[in-house]
Amino acid sequence: MSVYLTLISSLILIGVLYQIRLLRRMNGSLIKLASPERDIRRIAKAERDASRENYRQSEYYAQLIRLLDLKAPIPATRSWAASPDVLLTLLELAKSSKPARILDLGSGMSTLVLAHSAPQSTVISIDNSAEYAGKLPDYLQLMASQTLIFALHLLHRTHQVWIGMTYLN
Protein backbone atom coordinates (compact mmCIF):
# COMPACT_ATOMS: atom_id res chain seq x y z
CA MET A 1 0.00 0.00 0.00
CA SER A 2 2.80 2.47 0.83
CA VAL A 3 4.39 1.81 -2.57
CA TYR A 4 1.03 2.52 -4.17
CA LEU A 5 0.69 5.81 -2.23
CA THR A 6 4.23 6.83 -3.13
CA LEU A 7 3.52 6.19 -6.81
CA ILE A 8 0.29 8.19 -6.72
CA SER A 9 1.91 11.11 -4.86
CA SER A 10 4.77 11.12 -7.39
CA LEU A 11 2.27 11.24 -10.26
CA ILE A 12 0.38 14.09 -8.57
CA LEU A 13 3.66 15.98 -8.06
CA ILE A 14 4.60 15.52 -11.73
CA GLY A 15 1.12 16.75 -12.75
CA VAL A 16 1.41 19.85 -10.55
CA LEU A 17 4.88 20.67 -11.94
CA TYR A 18 3.54 20.25 -15.48
CA GLN A 19 0.64 22.62 -14.71
CA ILE A 20 3.03 25.22 -13.25
CA ARG A 21 5.22 25.03 -16.34
CA LEU A 22 2.18 25.33 -18.60
CA LEU A 23 0.90 28.36 -16.68
CA ARG A 24 4.28 30.07 -16.97
CA ARG A 25 4.28 29.60 -20.75
CA MET A 26 0.75 30.94 -21.01
CA ASN A 27 1.69 33.93 -18.87
CA GLY A 28 4.64 34.68 -21.18
CA SER A 29 2.35 34.52 -24.21
CA LEU A 30 -0.17 36.84 -22.56
CA ILE A 31 2.54 39.34 -21.68
CA LYS A 32 3.69 39.36 -25.31
CA LEU A 33 0.13 40.02 -26.44
CA ALA A 34 -0.19 42.90 -24.00
CA SER A 35 3.20 44.43 -24.86
CA PRO A 36 2.28 46.59 -27.88
CA GLU A 37 1.77 49.47 -25.48
CA ARG A 38 5.36 48.95 -24.36
CA ASP A 39 6.46 49.04 -27.99
CA ILE A 40 4.56 52.29 -28.48
CA ARG A 41 6.32 53.78 -25.47
CA ARG A 42 9.68 52.59 -26.78
CA ILE A 43 8.96 54.03 -30.23
CA ALA A 44 7.80 57.34 -28.74
CA LYS A 45 10.97 57.57 -26.63
CA ALA A 46 13.15 56.85 -29.66
CA GLU A 47 11.31 59.55 -31.63
CA ARG A 48 11.77 62.08 -28.81
CA ASP A 49 15.48 61.27 -28.62
CA ALA A 50 15.90 61.56 -32.40
CA SER A 51 14.01 64.85 -32.40
CA ARG A 52 16.28 66.26 -29.70
CA GLU A 53 19.38 65.13 -31.58
CA ASN A 54 18.14 66.65 -34.84
CA TYR A 55 17.43 69.94 -33.05
CA ARG A 56 20.93 69.95 -31.53
CA GLN A 57 22.48 69.28 -34.94
CA SER A 58 20.48 72.11 -36.51
CA GLU A 59 21.77 74.47 -33.79
CA TYR A 60 25.35 73.40 -34.55
CA TYR A 61 24.71 73.81 -38.27
CA ALA A 62 23.44 77.38 -37.78
CA GLN A 63 26.56 78.23 -35.74
CA LEU A 64 28.78 76.62 -38.36
CA ILE A 65 27.25 78.62 -41.22
CA ARG A 66 27.57 81.85 -39.26
CA LEU A 67 31.21 81.23 -38.29
CA LEU A 68 32.33 80.10 -41.75
CA ASP A 69 30.87 83.16 -43.52
CA LEU A 70 31.00 81.46 -46.91
CA LYS A 71 30.38 83.05 -50.30
CA ALA A 72 28.61 79.98 -51.69
CA PRO A 73 26.19 77.44 -50.26
CA ILE A 74 27.67 74.30 -48.78
CA PRO A 75 26.26 70.84 -49.38
CA ALA A 76 23.91 69.31 -46.84
CA THR A 77 25.97 67.75 -44.08
CA ARG A 78 23.83 64.63 -43.78
CA SER A 79 24.88 63.44 -47.22
CA TRP A 80 28.51 63.59 -46.04
CA ALA A 81 30.03 61.72 -43.14
CA ALA A 82 30.77 64.58 -40.73
CA SER A 83 27.87 65.93 -38.71
CA PRO A 84 27.59 69.63 -37.82
CA ASP A 85 28.83 69.16 -34.23
CA VAL A 86 32.01 67.45 -35.48
CA LEU A 87 32.51 70.15 -38.12
CA LEU A 88 32.12 72.91 -35.52
CA THR A 89 34.74 71.22 -33.34
CA LEU A 90 37.13 70.94 -36.32
CA LEU A 91 36.60 74.61 -37.14
CA GLU A 92 37.43 75.68 -33.59
CA LEU A 93 40.52 73.42 -33.46
CA ALA A 94 41.86 74.63 -36.81
CA LYS A 95 41.38 78.29 -35.92
CA SER A 96 42.90 77.99 -32.46
CA SER A 97 45.91 75.79 -33.26
CA LYS A 98 46.83 77.30 -36.69
CA PRO A 99 48.55 74.15 -38.04
CA ALA A 100 50.92 74.19 -41.03
CA ARG A 101 49.57 70.88 -42.36
CA ILE A 102 46.31 69.03 -41.80
CA LEU A 103 45.72 65.37 -42.65
CA ASP A 104 42.04 64.67 -43.24
CA LEU A 105 41.02 61.04 -43.62
CA GLY A 106 37.99 61.15 -45.88
CA SER A 107 37.42 64.10 -48.17
CA GLY A 108 34.19 65.99 -47.79
CA MET A 109 32.69 68.62 -45.56
CA SER A 110 35.48 68.24 -43.02
CA THR A 111 38.03 69.08 -45.72
CA LEU A 112 36.03 72.11 -46.81
CA VAL A 113 35.67 73.38 -43.24
CA LEU A 114 39.36 72.82 -42.50
CA ALA A 115 40.43 74.53 -45.73
CA HIS A 116 38.28 77.56 -44.98
CA SER A 117 39.05 77.84 -41.27
CA ALA A 118 42.83 77.38 -41.63
CA PRO A 119 43.81 79.19 -44.87
CA GLN A 120 47.50 79.14 -43.93
CA SER A 121 47.50 75.32 -43.82
CA THR A 122 48.15 72.66 -46.42
CA VAL A 123 45.25 70.22 -46.22
CA ILE A 124 45.94 66.65 -47.29
CA SER A 125 42.78 64.64 -47.76
CA ILE A 126 42.84 60.86 -48.23
CA ASP A 127 39.68 59.14 -49.37
CA ASN A 128 38.68 55.70 -50.61
CA SER A 129 35.73 57.09 -52.58
CA ALA A 130 36.30 58.55 -56.03
CA GLU A 131 32.88 60.21 -55.81
CA TYR A 132 33.69 62.32 -52.74
CA ALA A 133 37.27 63.03 -53.77
CA GLY A 134 35.93 64.19 -57.15
CA LYS A 135 33.35 66.56 -55.60
CA LEU A 136 35.95 68.36 -53.50
CA PRO A 137 37.56 70.64 -56.17
CA ASP A 138 34.15 71.87 -57.34
CA TYR A 139 33.14 72.95 -53.85
CA LEU A 140 36.53 74.56 -53.22
CA GLN A 141 36.20 76.57 -56.41
CA LEU A 142 32.72 77.74 -55.38
CA MET A 143 34.09 78.87 -52.04
CA ALA A 144 37.17 80.54 -53.55
CA SER A 145 39.45 78.83 -51.06
CA GLN A 146 43.13 79.72 -51.17
CA THR A 147 44.27 76.58 -49.43
CA LEU A 148 46.46 74.01 -51.15
CA ILE A 149 44.66 70.68 -51.05
CA PHE A 150 45.91 67.27 -52.01
CA ALA A 151 43.08 64.82 -52.55
CA LEU A 152 44.24 61.22 -52.57
CA HIS A 153 41.88 58.56 -53.75
CA LEU A 154 42.90 55.03 -52.84
CA LEU A 155 41.14 51.90 -54.05
CA HIS A 156 42.40 49.01 -51.97
CA ARG A 157 41.09 46.12 -54.04
CA THR A 158 42.38 47.27 -57.43
CA HIS A 159 45.45 49.08 -56.08
CA GLN A 160 44.65 52.17 -58.12
CA VAL A 161 45.93 55.48 -56.83
CA TRP A 162 44.57 58.83 -57.97
CA ILE A 163 46.24 62.00 -56.81
CA GLY A 164 44.74 65.34 -57.59
CA MET A 165 46.13 68.64 -56.42
CA THR A 166 44.02 71.76 -56.35
CA TYR A 167 45.27 75.25 -55.65
CA LEU A 168 42.75 78.00 -55.98
CA ASN A 169 43.61 81.68 -55.87
Domain ranges of the chain: 49-166
pLDDT in tens, 38-84: 678 888 899 999 999 989 988 988 888 888 877 777 766 666 678 88
pTM comes to 0.60
Type of residue numbered 5: L
pLDDT at 29 over 50: yes
The predicted structure's pLDDT at residue 160: 46
The predicted structure's pLDDT at residue 51: 93
Task: State the DSSP H helix or E strand holding residue 96, giving kind and residue range, or none if neither.
Answer: helix 84-97
Instruction: Place 159 in a pLDDT band, splitting at 50, 70 and 90.
Output: very low
The predicted structure's pLDDT at residue 38: 66
Q: Class for domain 49-166, per CATH? A: alpha beta
The predicted structure's pLDDT at residue 155: 46
The predicted structure's pLDDT at residue 56: 92
pLDDT in tens, 93-141: 999 998 988 888 877 788 888 888 888 888 877 777 777 767 776 776 6
For residues 14, 20, 24, 29, the Cα torsion angle rounded to the nearest 10 degrees is 80
Strand, helix or coil for residue 92: helix
